A = this chain, B = another copy of it.
Amino acid sequence: MKGKGTRFERDLINQFWKRGFAAVRIAGSGVMPHPSPDIIAANGKRFLAIEVKMRSKLPLYLSEDELKQLQEFAEIFGAQAFVAFKIPRQDWKFFTLDLLIRTKKGYKIDGENYPFGLSIEEITSGTIQARL
């Protein structure tokens, strides 16, 4: 599963490069004493801090702490925070934190908010501002 995850993550990074973004995978994300996302991508105008998630199906549950750390990193760095979510046979979808549904212990993406996820075209072009 780790190998598969890495392959999908590399593919995501390649998609950013193809769209004129410099994208990198962060080392030791979740292990370091400081918060850090899985991927950072930027094109000189737009700076993105991305937490990467893959599941075989909906829903995806995210812990309060994980989201808090992503938000904290993004604020200090000067980036917009996204959860990138991949399920089989679907393109990556990107969720700003306010697109997530609150649960008792954290957040989730299920059938209700999944359709509102943004495409990579949207988050790498100017169209995101209009939708948010």
Q: Count chain A residues whose beta carbon lies closer than 8 angstroms to a beta carbon of B.
A: 30
Are A40 and B20 within 8 A (Cβ)? no
Contact of A45 among B20, B22, B23, B78 (CB under 8 A): B78
A107 at the interface (CB under 8 A from B): no
CB neighbours of A28 from chain B (8 A): 25, 27
Are B44 and A77 within 8 A (Cβ)? yes
**Footprint of B on A, CB under 8 Å?**
13-14, 17, 20-28, 32-37, 40, 42-45, 47, 73, 75-79
Q: How far, in angstroms, from A96 to B42 measured CA to CA in the complex?
A: 21
Are B34 and A23 within 8 A (Cβ)? yes
Q: How far, in angstroms, from A11 to B114 measured CA to CA in the complex?
A: 40
